[in-house]
Amino acid sequence: MAPRTRLSTSVLLTCAAIGVATGALQAGAGALSAPVSATAPILYGLVLGVHVLPGVVAQELLRRPWVALITHLIAALVASAVVPLWIGRYIGTALLIGGLQELIAATSRYRRWDAWRFFLSAVIVGAVIAAAIWFAADVTRFPVWGQIVYVALFVVGPVAWTAVGLAIGRALRRAGIARRSQG
């Protein structure tokens, strides 16, 4: 039997807290995007990888349906408050990444929370974003080695940030936050 999908107030408040914290990080990453793109564009994937954080922390901590998507949307609204011009980007990214994270979790009917599942999600997110950015950023302007590194860092970024998110989620779980967010 799949877990209940009704979310308690405490679960929603926990999603909100994670969303606010990670939304602030996303706004910071947004501020870094232009300078990184201008000075070291090959590193852009590492900066964008931070966008996996809301869902990873929420799912690792709460282990419930819909928490990744809800947390991503809250993070997007927080980041959009800092950079209102990018609201479409933040909401679109939240729907894409949060949706992919929910889809991967749904394949196990929200019963399996092994680390490999989170990393699989990160690789898929990185590949999808790399494919989209490939055309938008005209990656073919780089030499072949640069193209390979550019795409690889779009996968490495989400994987690295997923490791950070899992560590945060586990630390919050050890601190008893998950027990307070039941229902």
The answer on pLDDT for 153 being more than 70 is yes
- The counts of H helices and E strands in the chain are 8, 0
182 CB-near residues (< 8 Å, 6+ apart): 8, 10, 11
- Is the per-residue pLDDT at 55 higher than 80? yes
Task: Give residue 7's identity as a one-letter amino acid code.
Answer: L
> Is residue 22 pLDDT above 90, yes or no?
yes
Q: What is the pLDDT of residue 5?
A: 59
d(C-alpha 180, C-alpha 183), whole Å: 9
pLDDT recorded at residue 183: 56
> What's the angle, vertex CA 139, arms to CA 135 and CA 142, rounded to 5?
165
- In this prediction, residue 120 has a pLDDT band, given cuts at 50, 70 and 90, of very high
**Residue 111 pLDDT > 80:** yes
User: What per-residue confidence (pLDDT) applies to 1?
Assistant: 46
